[in-house]
Amino acid sequence: MQFISMIDQETIQRIMDAARIEEVIGDFVSLKKRGANHIGCCPFHNEKTPSFYVSPSKGIYKCFGCGEAGDVVKFLMKHEHYTYPEALQWLARKYNIEIVEEELTPEQKERQTERDGLFHVSEFAQKYFADLLFNDEMGRAVGLSYFHQRGMSDEIIKRFGLGYCLEGWSDFTDHARKNGYSDTVLEKTGLTIFKEKTEAGGQNTEPSGTDNPEPKVRAYDRFRGRVMFPIYSISGRVLGFSGRILSSEKKAAKYVNSPDSDIYNKSRILYGLFQARAAIAKANKCYLVEGNVDVVSMHQSGVENTVASCGTSLTVEQIRLIKRYTPNVTVLYDGDTAGIKAALRAVDLLFAEGMHVRLVLFPDGEDPDSYAQKYGSSALQDYLAQHEDNFIMFKTRVLLDGVKDDPIRRAELISDTAHSIALVSDMLERAEYIRECAHLLHVGEEVLGNAVAKAAAQARQKAYEQVQKEQQRSDAAETAPEERPEEKTETAAPTQSAQPAFLPEVERHLVKLMLDYGNEKVPQEVVGDDGKKQLVEYTVAEIVVSELRRDNLVMTHPLCQRIFEQCSLMVDMTHSVDTNRFMNSSDEQLRVFAISLMMDTYTLSDTWRNKGIFVPKPEDNLLQDLTESVYTFKSGRLAQMIDTLREQLRSATVDEERELLAQIQQYSAVARQLQKARNIVIAPHYNSY
């Protein structure tokens, strides 16, 4: 076992002085400069609107969504699961700082965790396999020649750390044991398989033994006789392997992958992301392919912003990894039936995560690797540029080919298309899909639009019901047998002084307006710098945020205030509200509350319309509703604050009394102004907030 040594304090200080936090975090998170800080989507929780701030001047990061914070070392320890010395060593390598080490004592070595051992043996294995590929006779003859036949250069082979595992039953295991690695870490990483002798299929299949009694358990190299594709973390740590067999043995699997372990989870890893992350961020686009060889071939052809899923269908976790660097994905699949089906399976997952998705299908029988080998790198890049297709439009056309004149299947297709469009979070993008797909399906835009609205409502209803079930289970688990609901006695909840009874409901309604119509624009009459009135459009969320900030008002309901604060942050950064952030929140209480507000439990019967009675929809009176709600909240909140200050006057000192009276006068003046003009007038220089 190789152990990490201690680093002296002087070296630690040099490392910390050299490390630039925005550069380090920028290796893992796509950051954009905003003023003195950098912002991006937090890597520690799922979010679609950036709330992760990095301060270069202070050398710290802070997520205002989940609360994670710290310095550059804390980030590496949290994100990459490094120990403190490992994080320092990573920084030292990045900034070319020579580290002075002190050997650990036996007691300190014993405290090295098993997880560290998994990382170390994986890195040891990668170096071993890579060395065999270039320096072993069999490695060169079998492994290296295979990669060369696939058109891979030595440079690209070394860049991806490719290697070869010998065909012997336990060549790697024996080598690892000699270097101090235990059977425990070899088995947990999946590099070695341990079986009872009777499971081996007879001793005639085993390598020749020695004069010593044979052990009851035999060790076998999982990847024997395969070329090796190491799988890296975002920072370049080896987590696992994918091995491709080169023999024509029919019973053997073409690819064998490392099993999940404490350091490797195939559903949370993308092959090639370590090598591709910078190119993805620079191009603001990610190409998603099916296999490891395709990734290496694309990089060899100059298309370095390419990744693949690791031996599994595309997962939500993998999509969120991509979204750290770009929301734009182009999916590359084979042009055969299986490739088309795989593409269709991926579409809903991608759109549900707010990705902008396009598709490139290769000619039947071709894939990125074969196309590049046949026609060259330039032809591959030209093909990608010329054959990108809109994913939903492609899906609609493919399904439309099988519908013909069958009315039932046509209705199913419209419903399926509406379901996919409903997953698109951007309203303008969704409207464009409705327009184009309606034309393609030969149905009215209103018909498809209604189907999309219905699909979206069904999705929200399903999410709401799931939340309710989870809440009921949680409540049942928390209720002790001796505290059954029917036996509880009601106690009065504490209330704030002079709080109007209607205030919490008004706050809920304001938050609901932000969640339901936050991105809807309403006209506002403002006075410009020249003194003339002009009509300007602002979103509902911008108006609510501006009005409450103008008078420094906060909501009394804690969950309403939290949602308001997060919406305010979204408005500051993107001028829009992303409700998916609340629906997917890891905070169960906040998620339940937000979804409950967004749910419309009452709907108008079609009987009214059939009788010629048309009731206005909420959005028809949005400006009036918004105006009245903001006025009611502000007047009620100001009255509450004034009453609270007057209550404090009763026991105030002379100095305190002077300050309290000044505050009462200030709030009273605001209340009088509010009564004179109930129209909402947003400040023209909103962006200055």
Predicted confidence at residue 487, as pLDDT, reads: 39
Predicted confidence at residue 685, as pLDDT, reads: 39
Q: From CA 443, how far away is CA 449, in angstroms rounded? A: 10
Q: Is the pTM for the entire model greater than 0.75? A: no
- Look at residues 586, 579, 424, 590 and name the one whose alpha carbon lies nearest to residue 42: 586
Please state the domain extents for the chain.
Answer: 6-107, 114-202+214-264, 267-387, 503-602+616-688
Give the CATH number of domain 114-202+214-264; options: 3.40.50.300, 3.90.980.10, 1.10.10.60, 1.10.1200.10. Answer: 3.90.980.10
Token pair 């071993």 in the structure block, residue: 128
Q: Which CATH class is domain 6-107?
A: alpha beta
User: How many residues in the chain?
Assistant: 689
Q: Which CATH class is domain 267-387?
A: alpha beta
Predicted confidence at residue 612, as pLDDT, reads: 56
DSSP for 615-637 reads PPPGGGGHHHHHHHHHHHHHHHH
In degrees and rounded to multiples of 5, residue 625 shows phi and psi of -60, -45
Predicted confidence at residue 472, as pLDDT, reads: 64
DSSP for 327-376 reads SEEEEEE-SSHHHHHHHHHHHHHHHHTT-EEEEEEPPTT--HHHHHHHH-
Lookup: tokens for 429: 């993008």
Is 70 in a helix, a strand, or coil? strand
Predicted confidence at residue 369, as pLDDT, reads: 83
Predicted confidence at residue 494, as pLDDT, reads: 35
In degrees and rounded to multiples of 5, residue 152 shows phi and psi of -90, 135
Predicted confidence at residue 306, as pLDDT, reads: 94
> Which portions of the chain are predicted below pLDDT 50?
1-4, 108, 110-111, 199-210, 478-498, 601-604, 614-615, 681-689
Predicted confidence at residue 683, as pLDDT, reads: 46
Predicted confidence at residue 228, as pLDDT, reads: 96
Lookup: tokens for 124: 């040891």
**How do beta strands 217-221 and 226-232 pair?**
unpaired
The identity of residue 682, as a single letter, is: I
Strands across the sheet containing 306-309: 270-271, 306-309, 286-289, 328-333, 356-361, 389-390
Spell out where 413-529 has E strands.
Answer: 521-527
Q: From CA 598, how far away is CA 613, in angstroms rounded? A: 26
Exposure on the CB side of residue 434, measured as CA atoms within 13 A:
22
